[in-house]
Chain A
Amino acid sequence: MLREIRPAILILLLLTAITGLAYPLAMTAIAGAIFPRQAQGSLIEKDGKVIGSALIGQEFKDDKYFHGRPSATSAPDPADPTKTVSAPYNAANSGGSNLGPTSKALKDRIKEDFAKLKTENPAAPIPVDLVTTSGSGLDPDISPEGALFQVPRVAKARNLPEARVQQLVTEHVQGRMAGLLGEPRINVLALNLALDEVSK
């Protein structure tokens, strides 16, 4: 049994060096050379400044932008670091609400968002993704229905014809992969960037 001690130390150290240093560092170098944009986080720049990542949702509150889903992420409370405060779309601390199907807190939150959305567009049914938080709190997408629901508000805020905004939404629908995998969706940041271009 004693002769197992030497490999227990040396094989461990060598395999740790291979898998924990050589492998991730080599992959960083290779990936950075082949896919430089993705390796850095698919960042989007505008006028030389980073405005976000194509894959990470960001908070939109202004009426003239399409809004993403509610986000349950939090950040440390600046006043008391042992506590946290709500900080939607905090991309340095991902997470979901973790509220269950019989949670009163969840029902109160959904009812509040429901009431707000009803005043915005009383005629249309509200898509479920607009009142539920995502698992990461950073969901970059909404459903096509979720975008169409917001068209009247956005068009009004921007003084654009609804048909024009609706057309923009339709252009930005990403379908299922190969018509099969995943769900149809719209990247909110990409849609809002296009919207800014149109309104210019």
Chain B
Amino acid sequence: MTVIGWIQVLLYCAIVVALVKPLGWYMTRVFSGERTPLTPILRPVEVGLYRIGGVDEKREQHWLTYTVAMLLFHVGGFLIIYGVMRLQALLPFNPAGQSAVAQDLSFNTAISFITNTNWQNYGGESTLSYLTQMLSLTPQNFLSAATGIALAVALIRGFSRSSMRTIGNFWVDVTRCTLYVLLPICIVYTLFLVWQGVPQTLGAYVEATTLEGGKQTIAVGPVASQVAIKMLGTNGGGFFNANAAHPFENPTALSNFVQMISIFALGAALTNVFGRMVGNQRQGWAILGVMGVLFLAGVAVTYWAEANGTSMLSALGFSGGNMEGKEVRFGIVASSLFAVITTAASCGAVNAMHDSFTALGGMIPLLNIQLGEIIVGGVGAGLYGMLLFVVLAIFVAGLMVGRTPEFVGKKIEAREVKMAMLAILILPLMILGWTAVAVVFPPAVASMANAGPHGFTEVLYAFTSATGNNGSAFGGLTGNTFFYNLTLASSMFVGRFFMIVPAMALAGSLAAKKSIPPSAGTLPTTGGLFVGLVVGVILIIGGLTFFPALALGPIVEHLAMNANTLF
């Protein structure tokens, strides 16, 4: 670890924190339907969409209607992706002549993109046409992100409203989020990326004759426009197989730094939206504080582990850390930092191969996802995930002092705690359940690229990433098999929607409650005590649930590495 490395980490944190208030202010106005600087340009488009779509923007929805609208929206999204992938050989914008994508792989990819996971069982440049990338994947990058944010805003309304039956209108929330928040940022961001060297062309792959006279086919494409939203919307599905490690997706140290900021920007700002909407910005900062504590702890461990390197490298006298799977332009610190960010948020883009990280360096990304991706988290999903833990923490605190727990003026009662627990228990069910099946099913075991505990970690990471809708991978695992295409798709689906439905039920039941003013017996939820309590609950739940599995994977591998045992 170096001083300049830590300066980069702290500079990163400072910029993310500095963006929280302005973005929070802007998004609060967007979702409250107030005027914004972009209203004169975008309002006519918005009104046109509502008119054609038959949406009455004044009519709000009950939580159940809101959820059904969201689900219907995703059925259509699924069909578009699946259809375009199956038909890509017949459709235009296919200069590389890619053939139709197989049924199970198309199914997996369609689920992957509607759930904001962007798990890639395909290699972008070797499987997909430009049209598939643009027309089927890019829109779901926008819309699954907009959905996540819409749901978070709906849950915030649950907290901020009093005695109401409705929590907003899904169509309005999704449309406004796409038009006012995601698109304008992506337009500027795309141009920045092209300036840095990310291609944006519909031209065919380039045939080059190298300096030594060899042939090199260089894959290009409309890359920048997709990379912009894949980062901002915490989607993470790369245009290329190597994702953000590919020099065409992430050419410079500056593009890397901005990409890292864009992963956290909206998720962090949503804590401020929460604070503003419940009428107490300090409440938003307290939640961001919980995230910050867990984040910095993760960065410290991964950075330390990667800088320390592996025993096989030090045995041969190498210094300079574990550079296997990392790019020279990013080095140890920017690769470690990126890995922690992308898994703390539910992004899943990678600028270094997590499979080649040291045992402990790779365990932190795994643990980040297992804790529920609540450290900033996916846009929207992170906040509603975190609020579920807050409900639980408040409940535990209430039990300790023997009073009915309350949070931002809402009594937390049996129904709320049940819904929060239901949502939280979905994660381990899919992760541990499918991992257990995979490690005793011979065709699934055959997909492992590494032997020993590392192979087990590859499988555990795959189901963790899919269920958490992250999308990063221990990439050695051959995921494009019938077994993994289906089981991972089921994990992604359940991990996304079986968490959303209880969260929306929670929103509905909270909105219907009366707001009560704080009394002398109310636990203050903006201070260090609250932050400590929530961090504790997150670590206890995550730790108790996943420690046995981690002990079989990264922990035993770390011990084996120190004993110079190879597999």
Contact = CB atoms under 8 A, between A and B. Distances in A.
B54 A19 contact: no
A123 interface: no
A152 interface: no
A108 B357 CA distance: 18
A180 B142 contact: no
Interface string A99-111: 1111110110011
Nearest to B69: A4
A35 B195 contact: yes
Given A11-B53, A135-B353, A181-B257, A28 B326 contact: no
A38 B356 contact: no
Interface string A54-95: 111111111001000100000000000000000001111111
Interface in A1-55: 1, 3-16, 18-21, 23-25, 27-28, 30-32, 34-35, 38-43, 49-55
B241 interface: yes
B138 A61 contact: no
Interface string A155-195: 00000000000000000000011001111010001001100
Interface string B336-350: 000000000000001
Most chain B CB within a 10 A radius of its CB, from A4, A24, A99, A196: A24
Interface residues of A, number: 102
Most chain A CB within a 10 A radius of its CB, from B207, B214, B311: B214
Interface range on chain B (Cβ under 8 Å from partner): 35 or more
B303 to A, nearest CB: 14
Contacts of B355: 96, 98-100
Contacts of A131: 318
Contacts of A16: 80, 135, 139, 143
B327 A136 contact: yes
A15 B178 contact: yes
Contact of A182 (B175, B256, B319, B322): B256
Nearest to A40: B201
Contacts of A192: 211
B561 A14 contact: no
Contacts of A24: 134, 138, 222, 225-226
Contacts of A134: 245, 325-328
A95 B241 contact: yes
Interface string A136-160: 1111111100100000000000000
A198 interface: no
B313 A110 contact: yes
Interface string B300-328: 00000000011111001111111111111
A41 to B, nearest CB: 4
Given A15-B175, A102-B566, 4 more contacts: A55-B197, A127-B320, A134-B325, A138-B246
12 contacts: A12-B73, A12-B77, A15-B178, A27-B187, A31-B190, A38-B197, A42-B197, A53-B218, A94-B240, A134-B326, A136-B240, A136-B327
Interface of B: 4, 7-8, 11, 49, 52-55, 65, 68-69, 72-73, 75-77, 80, 123, 125-126, 134-136, 138-139, 141-143, 171, 174-175, 178, 183, 186-187, 190-191, 194-203, 205-212, 214, 216-220, 222, 224-226, 229, 240-242, 245-248, 251-254, 256-257, 309-313, 316-331, 334-335, 350-353, 355-359, 362, 449-454, 457, 474-476, 557, 560-561, 565-567
Interface of A: 1, 3-16, 18-21, 23-25, 27-28, 30-32, 34-35, 38-43, 49-62, 65, 69, 89-104, 106-107, 110-111, 114, 125-129, 131-143, 146, 176-177, 180-183, 185, 189, 192-193, 196
